[in-house]
Amino acid sequence: MKLDLKNKIPPPIVTLVFAALIYLSSDLLPHLMFKGQTFLSSIIMIFGLIILLLAVKAFVQFKTTINPLKPETTSVLVTSGIFKLSRNPMYLGMLLLIIGLWGKTGAASGFILVPSFIAYLNYFQIFPEEQAMKGLFSGKYEVYCQQVRRWL
């Protein structure tokens, strides 16, 4: 039996799992500390939350689905606002929240967990979504991909 996780676990759940791993590992492994760490990590997390909320707001405004498990139900290709900077601002926001938590805890595990989070989202969420968008919006989506980067 082949286990296919693509588009099966909601990205917010994945984000919470990686956040928990970073948080819990911060007491188990060495951590890095520096002056202004809490302030810098808080700024990163605030930017992440703002980006995430702007992306959700755009989807609501254009009345299209925010359900990442069924990208084929998307009714509109959103390319304005925050989507001019990133094709995946929701995931970028989640990434910044993870990076901010990593910065706050200083967990050495972040050097492995943050790139793993990116790799997981790319393979299991973003690539399948991109295939769905190509099927739904073909030429328009391909032009958008040429103009806007996947993450930032």
Instruction: Output the pTM of the full model.
Output: 0.94
Which of 111, 90, 94, 93 lies closest to 102, judged by CA? 111
Which two three-digit tokens encode residue 47? Answer: 């930017």
Domain boundaries along the sequence of the chain: 37-147
Model pLDDT for residues 25-64, shown as the tens digit of each residue: 998 888 888 899 999 999 999 999 999 999 999 999 999 9
Is a pLDDT exceeding 70 seen at residue 19? yes
pLDDT for the residue 27: 87
Which of 123, 122, 124, 146 lies closest to 134, judged by CA? 146
pLDDT for the residue 5: 55
Q: What angle do CA 26, 32, 36 make, to 5 degrees?
A: 110
Query: Most distant CA pair in the chain: distance in Å?
Result: 51
Model pLDDT for residues 125-145, shown as the tens digit of each residue: 999 999 999 999 989 999 999
CB 43 within 8 A of CB 71: no
pLDDT for the residue 3: 47
Model pLDDT for residues 88-109, shown as the tens digit of each residue: 999 999 999 999 999 999 999 9
